[in-house]
Structure 1
Amino acid sequence: MGAVGGARVGSLAVISSIGELWDKVFGAQPDPPPWLVLVTGVIALTVVLTRTPWRVGRNAITIAHEGGHALAAVLTGRRLQGIRLHSDTSGLTLSAGRPTGPGMVFTLLAGYLAPSLIGLAGAWLLGGNRITLLLWIAVALLVAMLVMVRNAYGMISLGATAGLVFSVSWFAPPEVQAAFAYAGVWFLLIGGVRPVGELQSMRRGGRMPQSDADQLAWVTHLPALLWVAVFGLVNLFVLVVGAGLLAGPFLNGSRPIF
């Protein structure tokens, strides 16, 4: 009876621990104060607009960009061969399959749209106060990318990013988690726009002849400038929608201002 009772107590403890973990990850966190939403947005905008912080932060945009290519390739049935991330914030995703057709178009299109769309998904989760869930999903995606990375810098960059996000999600208090999550989502939404301008600037100077836009032009027989415009317009639209999701509950009065 003692052994059976001990096993039963142990099983209940395990079930209780699983329940606590479930609540921690999938439960809603408290509403963040409105000033936090505003301040994290200003910080993200400042990082995007200033030279050195953007040079560092752009690595996160590159991770999202290459992750978008990789996910699109897998979803369209292409064979993902590997991802490379470089210290100059450039990246490369290789996949095998037909060089033309919808799968190739979708794969090429996904890169410049991915940071903004990931930010939009994050804004939707934050709108429901699923802050820890957002951070854990981010960790899962980073680990999934890590499996496909084929260079040392990429492994270090992804490993460090995943470790940082997990540490915040597991050890940080709710208010720190909220600040980290809001800053990250704002950065993806705002930071997704700037690379499109950089892309066109480099294309104009002849420094990027094999850009995603130029490859799309070759595949679709539509002008590369049209694809640059698509990138920019979609990302600007997503920024507006995402900002509304983040700030809307406070502006329309469904959450208290003070």
Structure 2
Amino acid sequence: MKRLIFTIIICITACAVFAQTTADSTHTDSVTKKKVHVKLGVGDDAPSVSNEPDTAYHAHKAPGFSFGVTFSRIDLGFATLIDHGSFTLSPNNQFLSYRQWKTSNFGFDLVQFGYRFNSAFKIYVSGGFDWTHIRLRNDITIQRNTPVLTYTEDDINYSKNRFSSSYLRIPLSFYYRSHEDASGNHFRLVAGPEIGVLLNGRVKQISDENGKQKFNDDYHFTRLRQGVFVRMGYGLMGIYAKYYFTDMFENSPAQEGLKNFSFGLTVGF
């Protein structure tokens, strides 16, 4: 995770430099150019492919469609399990007891397509990836290829026992930003529905007896999850929260009603 965070910081810096270079190279004092342009950058305002006039004055953005490659809405926070509306796990789910401060959510978007109505409001659909890492307290192993979610108790002391899911996330965002203040920043509010398509489930364990082990399976994680999200903040950084209406697991009756809620910091939105 530390290497991943370090890589993200490098990418953000590189994207910001690239965006600034692109802006400088297309600067003009008085001539309006009509052209298709592609920009790669951080945040909702950076990436675009459009036929809009490219001018040196960007305080007010014209309506229009846009499409682009981006590295935006980078979420890093905590994941919490909600069992029938309670933060306390029921007896059927006690084997999933987890360490809250080490149970995390991480995700980002890579592409987006949208329509801007004016400088303050736009809607867009985007695509990216989302991971949830549950740090289990118990020395158990979630089993693969079983009819329902099943585990075994092990006579091994795991220094790390992580149960993870990865999803392709596809949010539909309704985006609002305030007028630019004296420092050139905006208040931003983004909210909307999100669907996720399961990519993989994984158990990662570290112990003195077996070293580092990784096991991949779907582990009965819900293949198509549905939820809502909200992001708000000032400038480049803000906070986010996501809640999924669908259960975390499917075809496993004992886990019915177990849902996922995540919250934390978001960058580049």
**Scaled by the length of structure 2, what TM-score is found?**
0.23
Looking at secondary structure, tell me which structure has more strand per residue. Answer: 2
Higher relative contact order (CA 8 A, sep 6+): 1
Looking at secondary structure, tell me which structure has more helix per residue. Answer: 1
**Scaled by the length of structure 1, what TM-score is found?**
0.23
